[in-house]
Structures are given as C-alpha cells and as structure tokens.
Amino acid sequence: MHTDRERCVRAVQSKDARFDGWFFTAVLTTGIYCRPSCPVVPPKPENMVFQPSAAACQQAGFRACKRCRPDTSPGSPEWNRRADLVARAMRLIADGIVDREGVPGLASRLGYSARQIERQLLAELGAGPLALARAQRAQTARLLIETTPLPMADIAFAAGFSSIRTFNDTVREVFALTPTDLRARTPRTAAAGPASGALTLRLPFRAPLNPDNLFGHLAATAVPGVEEWRDGAYRRTLRLPYGHGVVALTPTPDHIACRLTLSDLRDLTVAISRCRRMLDLDADPVAVDDQLRTDPLLAPLVDKAPGRRVPRTADEAEFAVRAVLGQQVSTAAARTHAARLVTAHGDPVDDPEGGLTHLFPAPAALAALDPETLAMPRTRRTTFTTLVSRLADGSLHLGADSDWAEARARLAGLPGFGPWTVDVIAMRALGDPDAFLPTDLGIRRAAQQLGLPSTPAALTARAAAWRPWRAYAVQYLWATDDHPINFLPV
C-alpha cells in the first residue's frame, strides 16, 4: 500500500487506525516515523515519505515517534492472507528464527537461498531479514525496559542482541533515547513489574474485534491441564524454543491484556508472536466484513456482530493431533481423549496461579506410545499414529513457514484425512483465511437455516463470492448455533 501515495496521505490526514501496520509515515523535516493514526498534527504532504515497514524507516535514518509508538502497531494483515515466500519469511522472522538460527536458518527452512530471500524482502519491504529482525529486537527491548525491573544486560540478551553495546546503540538509534532514559519515562508502577515475575503486556488489534467466538471457542475446547478459562482470561501453557511459558489472555475493548510467565526470557518474542497468531490479531476486519456483506444472506450476521476472528492455535502440531482426536466425536469427547494423552505423555509444568499442569505432548512422545492404549476405533488409531510419526520424523511439517498448498497435499495423503480434517487444520493451524468446511455439520445446519445451498458442492460454489475470506464466513455461520463455542464464558 505504501506505493499509493494519495491513499496514504488521506489515511494520515484522517488518522485512520485501520491502516496502522499497513505502512509507516516518515517525516523528512523531523526525522521521525509514525503510524498513520499518530495523534499529532499531520505534516504537510510534501514532507511525508511512506515506507512498508518500521525496519525500512530505521534503515533510512528515521527514529520512532514517542507519541504514537509505531513499533507497537498491529502487524500487517498481508502476512496472514498470503503463503508466498515473503509472507512465510515474515511469519518466521516474527517467530524469532533469525535470532535463533540466523539468515542461513531462515533460508534453510524456506528452501531458498539467502540471496533470493534478501532480494524479495528488499523489493517488498525495503529491508532485508537482518534489518527486520533488528527492528523486532528493538521492539522487544523496549517492552522489557518499560514493563520489567530487569537489569539492562539481561534485557539485551533476552531481546536477542549479541552484545550490550549493540543493544545500547540500537535503542539510541531507534528511539532517540538511551535504555536508562527510556525506563525513566515509564511510570514506576509499570516498570516495577509483578512480584511473580510475570510480564504484563498489551496486544493491539484493528477494531472491531468480537471476542465471543474467539475466546468462546478456545475455552469450550480447552484441554484440561493445558488450557483453562479462569477469572475472565483464557490461560494455556506454551512449548517454546528455550523453555516453556504460561500465558493469560483477557479481552478488553481496545486491546488484549496479556500476562506471560516464561522459564527463559529469550522466548518473549516468539511467545508474543504465537499469541497474536492464535487470536488472529493482525487481521483486517473491515476488509473481511465488507467482502462478506456483499452476500445478502451473510450481511445480517456480519452487521449483528462484526469483527469475528478465526480462533487459531499456538502450536500447529498440537492442533493437528487434536483435529484427529475430534473426528466424528463431540467436543467433550475430544477433550477427554486429549486430556488422557496430556496426563500420560505431557511434560509437567508448575502453575502457581491456576490449574495448568502440563505442556501438550510433543510428536516424538506421542509417536512412542502403544497404539493399543488409545481408546478409539482401530482405523482412527492408524490415522493418529501415522500423523504423529510423520510429524516426529519431519516428513510432515506444520508451522508458520508452511507452504499451504504443499501442507494440504501431504495431509490429504495420510490415511483417514478427509476434506474436513484437512481444511480445519488449514484454517486453524496453518492460518489459511480462505479455508472452508462445506461438509461440517454446523455449517450445513446454518446453511439450511439461512436459505443457503445445503449440499457441499452447491455451498462451495456459492461461497466463491466470499473468497479470500471463507474461513471468516465459517465463524459467522457457526455463530447461528447455540453451541458454547459461540459465547464468551462467564
């Protein structure tokens, strides 16, 4: 969007928050870059330069605005609706892969050369993978400086910097303040941090956001020991690269309150990234709802409760396993099957604040279990054991960097994987916004109630007009039922 100058100028002059994260405004006269909704008086159009990323602004010598804090903008929705090389690279960078494995690790996971990735990222985002990762490290550092009492040396390495000097130089360059000055500007109550060692964060999103189906689905399908709804928050354990974590996510009108407890602070960036993906916080609800409103039968559903998100997952492999456990059984039965696996094979964790007891079992642990201990039909045992063995040996990969078409093809080739299982994994694990479930019982009931075609083929043909947002149409169709997944728990 940053190349459409006229549209960008209009967005800045109207302070339109919908475009935060789509592009950034660099002001030539001040050397500052802002989000489109910055509350200050807009600069003259001739003094505006538009960049596709915060990293591109920083590379061009601009520093972040202290008023609008552009580094805390929601992420670009482009990376949620695409599965090309650039989108997959951006999802991996957000997941901290460059900090852990470097650019060679990023290239290896994507199956391209480092030079090809650099070239494509520069062409579309104005910055290469190192610059993009550096911008993310700066954002993480600022978060830790402002929300924890940690020593600066600990913050530097937790944010992914290789040295304290690089940390100091980057913070000064990006924010025009030293780390100490940045902390001094933070109210003491915020900087003091909770006694328990948890981090309290605000996860921004583009309005509107309807939390009912989002948190209702996560709470209604919660696996005991791994997930729970407690005191108005969805809580779950997280398996992370350097350790584990426990997160509590609470919906509020203008942000998601996030409380994170990590065994290793180096996992902060990836934990935030996975929570944002799980709650679909980088979506563009206005674009989605405008498209779905073009169907006169969907329009009343959208107008009644706009801003529905697709509830996703914090662990793609975990969700694939749970999808198999949920084949042709009720939500309660699927939870029971998953809870047994967690108790028998999950890694124990300590949760002094609630009832979380385990991490969901890793594929390797599930691949080693005795199939005869599974309380399910023999054909589904075969489906389960084939899936976990493929996940464990790496021949099936489900992650932020997955090529959606390739992953779908590999899933469809597994025994017992029909269209419903493949598409529900594509929708909630891979994040494909156009995944559709025409054979789902809830969808067929909703179609009959609304006067939509009820056969899968005819419904799929009608749904062509909803593309590329059919996964969001699924949420609106599901919402016609009185199932607990559609209601915010009390």
CA 322, 325, 330 angle in degrees (round to 5)?
105
Q: Which residues pair with 210 in a beta bridge?
A: 308
Cis peptide before 433 (omega within 30 of 0): no
| C-beta separation of 310 from 471 below 8 A | yes
How far apart CA 430 and CA 83 sit, in angstroms, is 10
CA distances 41 to 15, 53, 54, 165, 298, Å, are: 10, 22, 20, 35, 40
How far apart CA 33 and CA 128 sit, in angstroms, is 19
Q: Which residues pair with 20 in a beta bridge?
A: 23
The structure tokens 């000064």 sit at: 172
What token pair was written down for 318?
A: 């975990």
How far apart CA 468 and CA 435 sit, in angstroms, is 9
The structure tokens 């159009």 sit at: 45
Which residues are designated catalytic?
34, 440
Three-class DSSP category at 140 = helix
How far apart CA 101 and CA 108 sit, in angstroms, is 10
CA 10, 13, 17 angle in degrees (round to 5)?
85
